[in-house]
Amino acid sequence: MGAGSSSLALESEGGSSPLRPNLDDIPESSVASILMHLDPPEICKLAKVNKTFHGASLADFVWETKLPSNYKYLVEKILGQSPESLSKKEIYARLCQPNCFEDGTKQVWLDKSSGKICVAVSYKALRITGIDDRRYWNHISSEESRFNTIAYLQQIWWLEVVGELEFEFPAGTYSLFFKLQLGKTSKKFGRRACNVDQVHGWGAKPVRFQLSTSNGQQASSECYLHQQGNWGHYRVGDFVVDNKNTPMKLKFSMMQIDCTHTKGGVCLDSVLICPSEFREKLKQF
């Protein structure tokens, strides 16, 4: 008995005692069952622990819980592939990247931490008063736009911007914003500068924003444009999606049609649609 005790003691001192379980001894399926309750960034961190954790992090059932309910629609419409041809982790990773559709005028992506959907619509997909007339509008390359191009309004009497989007959103509450900036941005000696010399007319009357959905929801708001030199997200309103996996058509607009004065000096980038709880981190977009 003493000899047995000594033997065990020596094995323990050597650090190789079979009585000491380590992370490699945990079944991969058990690890995967734990990982499915964590957020995607946490899963990716734990995947680096060892081979068992890495293997568990690849399990389809882990990532299927992170994907939005309409992921099959997104894979087919946006990625142009069959959902069965990709692993769930690969689907998640690819959908977290900005994915363009409709001739590059729209983008959709998943928030990496939550897996929730965001959609952006370039000004090129909108109907805009006088957009093809260079007396009114200039098209400017910009690193500050996810579409790499913005529209700059020099001066106009009647401004109306109208857009539509048909898309299948997961259930939830979403907000719609116009991304605008008063002033024209440029770079001088490598530093950002914004010329506001042409900004005028936005303090006379408010801009009216409107939103309607194919199931009868409506929202509107009015505000004066005030974000000189910095991009601002002007909220149009919210809409609720109850029926997941059913396409919804949105119509949205901004207008300032008081012809008693001209207005100008504004940059129009895009329209953003995101979960309403993302309002506090709009600067990321």
Tell me the sheet residues that pair with 180. 232, 268
**Rg, Å, the chain Cα set:** 26
Banded pLDDT at 18 (limits 50, 70, 90) = low
| Residue 72 pLDDT > 80 | yes
Quote the CA–CA distance of 272 and 218 in Å, as a whole number: 17
The predicted structure's pLDDT at residue 2? 47
pLDDT above 90 as % of the chain: 71
pLDDT tens digit string along 97-131?
999 999 999 999 999 999 999 999 999 999 999 99
Helix/strand/coil for 109:
strand
pTM to 2 decimals?
A: 0.86
Strand pairing partners for 210? 220, 253
The reported pLDDT for the residue numbered 93 is 95
Q: What is the β-pairing status of strands 218-223 and 232-241?
A: unpaired
Please tell me the predicted confidence (pLDDT) of residue 31: 82
How do residues 35-58 score in pLDDT, each as one tens digit?
Answer: 888 889 899 998 888 888 888 888
Residue 193: the pLDDT is: 87
Q: For residue range 168-191, what is the model confidence (pLDDT) as tens digits?
A: 999 999 999 999 999 998 887 788
Per-residue pLDDT tens digits for 206-257: 999 999 999 999 999 999 998 899 999 999 999 999 987 789 999 999 999 9
* pLDDT at residue 10 in the model: 38
Our CA angle for 46, 283, 206, nearest 5°, is 155
Cα-based torsion angle of the residue sequence 124, 122, 235, 143 in order, rounded to the nearest 10 degrees: -120
Q: 165: helix, coil or strand?
A: strand
